[in-house]
Amino acid sequence: MKSSLKLALGLASAITASTAVSNVAHAEDLTLCWAAWDPANALVELSKDFTKETGIGMKFEFVPWTNYADRFLNELNSHGKLCDLIIGDSQWIGGAAENGHYVKLNDFFDKEKISMDDFVPATVVGYSEWPKNTPNYWALPAMGDVVGWTYRKDWFSKPELQKEFKEKYGWDLGPPATFDQLKQIAEFFQKRQIDGKTVYGASIYTERGSEGITMGAMDVLYSYGFQYENPKKPYEMEGFVNSPDAVKGLEFYKALYDCCTPPGASNSYMGEGVDAFKSGQVAMHMNFAFTWPGLQKDENVGGDKIGYFVNPKGPGGAQFAQLGGQGISVVSYSDKQESALKYVKWFANKDVQAKWWSLGGYSCLNAVVKDPKFPASQPYAQAFLDSMAIVKDFWAEPSYAPLLQASQKRFHDYVVAGQGSAKDALDGLVKDWTQVFQDDGKM
């Protein structure tokens, strides 16, 4: 999906990001492949316990998000043996299952008494099942994630701003319940002087090269009524992808971009959003929940200065959020499948999952997230729980890549470049996606 130059850079990054739990030689080492981000560092620490218990060493191949799909989808498609275990993105599950890249785990789960009923339902559907909503499992839910929002709690609590906001909008300044309220807050803060510095309303996803603007736009479109297809007729998209309500949702996303984002925000994704929030540029910040532990600990914007809220409701009261996160799978081309399955069994253990959460990972195990003490375990825990209850996800079809390429272009051309109308963009997307499914023989 990227240029050969970007792929080359990704390979270099993968080499530099490779790490091992220990320098001690083991009879058999496993290599786990994933993205290079904070949760991966937590997994390295967690996996030391696996090596202590089993004597099996762990190596890790971590690749930056911008190269993650290129690097590992190419590895899988070439039947490479680099990865024994892979934490693959949720949208890969269809292609990985149908192309034989992942080991089907049903028999293993039955043998080891690992029940998918023990995991958050949305993560089972999103990370493990193919076809969707069938008991065919290709991964264990590993890293729960969802798009949510952080806000500058310290700014929102300033008495003079609360007074001015209430006089202007007629409601108390606080976490927005609707997207209309979110836009009002963003407009209120846009180019405002706070502590002698010009600040801006919100950081949102606009990145063109991988998946950024699709994740951001969908995060809004779902709550406006967008549907991928006719619920009664698979792959029929006319009137669902480009419904009048979906058009209004995309118009809102562009309006939010135009009115209330900081300068230079035309290609922003996870890293750029974190930078904007940590540098004190924005009042609100759209991002996946994996960023929250690091922001909470930040000396400048964390602690009692930061707050978290769930994706707001749309005009009709619908409320959804874009699913992130991944499952862990055993690669079918690995010569170490038995040991890899031992890791999966170990990782599914309740105590391991509880430690995973404590280190900064996001457990999907019900025994962890439904523990009465969970909401108070971190300032962002309740927002994470509430967000995971309303998730939707992008296509997980084997042709996920061209489907994503189409939405990236259509959304960016309209929202950022200002080309055409929202209806033009969504009508075009129906044509693009229809062509993909026709080429696949599904229409």
Task: Name, in order, each residue with C-beta under 8 angstroms of 370's C-beta and a sequence gap of 6 or more.
Answer: none
pLDDT for the residue numbered 19: 57
Query: Is the CB of residue 406 less than 8 Å from the CB of residue 432?
Result: yes
Among the residue ranges 16-25, 241-250, 268-277, 343-352, the one predicted with the least confidence is: 16-25
CA dihedral 326, 332, 334, 339 (to 10 degrees): 70
Structure confidence by residue, pLDDT tens digits, 52-92: 999 999 999 999 988 899 999 999 999 999 999 999 999 99
* Closest alpha carbon to 363 in 372, 351, 373: 351
Q: How confident is the model at residue 3 (pLDDT cuts 50, 70, 90)?
A: very low
DSSP 262: P
Half-sphere exposure of 262 (CA within 13 A, CB side): 23
The Cα–Cα gap between 294 and 274 comes to 9
Fold of 145-320+394-438: D-Maltodextrin-Binding Protein; domain 2 (3.40.190)
Q: Is the pLDDT of residue 323 over 70?
A: yes
3-state class (DSSP) for residue 64: coil
Structure confidence by residue, pLDDT tens digits, 342-398: 999 999 999 999 999 999 999 999 999 999 999 999 999 999 999 999 999 999 999
Please report which helix (H) or strand (E) contains residue 144, including its range: strand 140-152
**Region class of 144: left (phi > 0), else alpha (psi between -120 and 50), else beta:** beta
Q: How confident is the model at residue 27 (pLDDT cuts 50, 70, 90)?
A: low
Query: Is the CB of residue 214 less than 8 Å from the CB of residue 432?
Result: no
pLDDT for the residue numbered 14: 38
Strands (DSSP E) along 153-204, which ranges? Answer: 192-194, 197-203
Q: Is the pLDDT of residue 227 over 50?
A: yes
Whose tokens are 């850079």? That residue is 9
Structure confidence by residue, pLDDT tens digits, 141-182: 999 999 999 999 999 999 999 999 999 999 999 999 999 999
3-state class (DSSP) for residue 48: helix
DSSP β-ladder status, 57-63 and 306-309: unpaired
**CATH 3.40.190.10 placement within the chain:** 27-144+324-386, 145-320+394-438
Among the residue ranges 19-23, 190-194, 292-296, the one predicted with the least confidence is: 19-23
pLDDT for the residue numbered 7: 30
Question: What are the φ and ψ backbone dihedral angles of 210, each rounded to 5 degrees?
Answer: -120, -85
CATH number of the domain located at residue range(s) 27-144+324-386 in this protein: 3.40.190.10
Structure confidence by residue, pLDDT tens digits, 7-21: 332 333 333 355 555
Q: Is the pLDDT of residue 5 over 90?
A: no
pLDDT for the residue numbered 66: 83
Q: How confident is the model at residue 400 (pLDDT cuts 50, 70, 90)?
A: very high
Give percent of the chain with pLDDT exceeding 90: 93
